[in-house]
């Protein structure tokens, strides 16, 4: 009976089922891998492998080459890094002026309310 090593690796970039399929393909292609269980909801992959045939470093390198850097955030793996600004819609955008504003009869979706100045808020109108 072979001596298997069990490891759980955090893959924050694995957030969809299509990523799970890709991660399983990457890891299963390596020699000595006996079992792969991946979860997009937990963003983790469990791997049982024979350390005499493949190392944890080789598995991590294969995942990183496939775009799933262990422990890295999705922005870090995409190369976007800090180049994309974080914009809070309620703080930065006046959605009353947006082409995406809802029709007057429907109102604004809860949680996306615009901050109104003075008595401009619809609830203040009579």
Domain that holds residue 11: 5-81
Residue 92 lies in a domain: no
Q: At what angle do helices 56-65 and 17-28 cross, to 10 degrees?
A: 130
For residues 108-116, average pLDDT: 53
Strand order in the sheet with 44-49: 5-10, 44-49, 33-39
* SS3 state at 37: strand
Q: Is the pLDDT of residue 113 over 50?
A: yes
Q: Please enumerate in sequence order all residues whose Cβ is within 8 A of that of 87, keeping only pairs 6 or more positions apart, or say none.
A: 93
pLDDT band for position 123 (50/70/90)? low
Residue 58 lies in a domain: yes
pLDDT of residue 46: 95
Q: What is the pTM of this model?
A: 0.58
pLDDT of residue 2: 76
Number of folded domains in the chain? 1
């Amino acid at each position: 009976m072979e001596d298997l090593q069990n490891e759980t690796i955090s893959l924050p970039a694995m957030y969809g089922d299509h990523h799970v399929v890709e991660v399983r393909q990457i890891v299963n292609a390596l020699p000595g891998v006996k079992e792969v269980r991946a979860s997009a909801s937990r963003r983790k992959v469990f791997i049982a492998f024979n350390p005499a045939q493949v190392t944890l470093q080789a598995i991590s390198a294969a995942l990183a080459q496939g775009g799933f850097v262990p422990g890295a955030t999705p922005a870090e793996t995409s190369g976007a890094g800090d180049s994309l600004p974080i914009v809070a819609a309620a703080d930065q955008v006046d959605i009353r002026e947006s082409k995406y504003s809802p029709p007057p009869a429907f109102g604004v979706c809860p949680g996306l309310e615009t901050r109104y100045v003075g008595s401009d808020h619809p609830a203040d109108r009579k």
